[in-house]
A and B are shown apart, each in its own frame.
Chain A
């Protein structure tokens, strides 16, 4: 079973206690009446749905019942980190690695079958 770290309970808890609550960091306009239809559509309906790392809201519904935010890899289902609601979007560039299935799938299609160059030392070769 997947274990998810709840920032309020301060420990890892089984996934059965959690519910996904959609994409995170989507701010509602302070003047929603002045929004154009296109902007409202973007805010209300359009989600990024990336193949790779996504910022999501999660709710520990059968635990402390609090909402929090998480950075999750949609390919490996690995949670890179979780943080409390209201905290700024953290920098995850150091957490996601260039290797592994996620990095592989995020390559453009024409590079998918190109093997990474092996690092080989040329010293000492005849």
Chain B
């Protein structure tokens, strides 16, 4: 009888963590993510369907019930759902012209927490991460070392880094070294 092969998904860097001087790194659980692009006309309907209003101001986020919408560009958002919901299915009924792509497994999320979190990220990120320039809830696509990432400030000394899966090894190694230097 033919043997049935069952594919099991193995997340990149699953469960890894580093504790250093004033900063700790933790690879977060898989989450649902959606890359959303839409014109202003479809925005209200999409916000209603998703349950979070899509932010209009640059570098801002709205979060509601485990679901966050991050402003990436004037017509582009990254929606992250950590509560087990399916943002793509929620958008399916919206009539307005939009593009919604599931990128859940494209990204790996790493939490950087502790009083030295900003300094650790600044080892490879050129943005001003002071609380005035990058307050809690601020989010932006930017660079870390030689790769691109999406940075979200979840607390005064807590960040969430979203990087592409194939870059995750580099990002994690880079942050580990930066945490050790701190």
A residues near B (Cβ < 8 Å) are 1, 8-11, 13-14, 16-17, 62-66
Task: Work out how many contacts link A and B, with CB atoms closer than 8 A.
Answer: 39
Task: Return chain A residues, CB-CB under 8 Å to B127.
Answer: 13-14
Which residue on A lies nearest to B57, using beta carbons?
Answer: A10
Cβ B73 vs Cβ A17 within 8 A? no
Which residue on B lies nearest to A8, using beta carbons?
Answer: B74
Contact residue among B58, B76, B126 (Cβ-Cβ distance under 8 Å from A65): B76
State the main secondary structure of chain B at its contact with A: strand
Cβ B142 vs Cβ A62 within 8 A? yes
Task: Return chain B residues, CB-CB under 8 Å to A65.
Answer: 72-73, 76, 141
B148 interfacial by beta-carbon distance below 8 Å:
yes
C-alpha spacing A14/B142, complex, angstroms: 9
C-alpha spacing A64/B58, complex, angstroms: 9
- Shortest Cβ distance from residue B43 to the other chain A in the assembled complex, whole angstroms: 16
Contact residue among B58, B74, B76, B143 (Cβ-Cβ distance under 8 Å from A16): B143
Sample 17 A-B pairs with CB under 8 A, ordered by A number. A1-B126, A8-B73, A8-B74, A9-B58, A11-B58, A13-B127, A13-B142, A14-B126, A16-B126, A16-B143, A17-B126, A17-B142, A62-B142, A63-B73, A63-B141, A64-B72, A64-B73
Contact residue among B126, B141, B143, B148 (Cβ-Cβ distance under 8 Å from A64): B141
- The range of chain B's interface size is 10 to 19
B residues near A (Cβ < 8 Å) are 58-59, 72-74, 76, 126-127, 140-143, 148
C-alpha spacing A7/B140, complex, angstroms: 15
State the main secondary structure of chain A at its contact with B: loop
C-alpha spacing A79/B9, complex, angstroms: 48
Cβ A62 vs Cβ B141 within 8 A? yes
C-alpha spacing A62/B167, complex, angstroms: 15
Task: Return chain B residues, CB-CB under 8 Å to A9.
Answer: 58-59, 140
Cβ B58 vs Cβ A10 within 8 A? yes
Cβ B148 vs Cβ A62 within 8 A? yes
C-alpha spacing A13/B74, complex, angstroms: 16
- Shortest Cβ distance from residue A82 to the other chain B in the assembled complex, whole angstroms: 14
Contact residue among A11, A14, A62, A66 (Cβ-Cβ distance under 8 Å from B74): A66
C-alpha spacing A65/B140, complex, angstroms: 11
C-alpha spacing A14/B140, complex, angstroms: 13
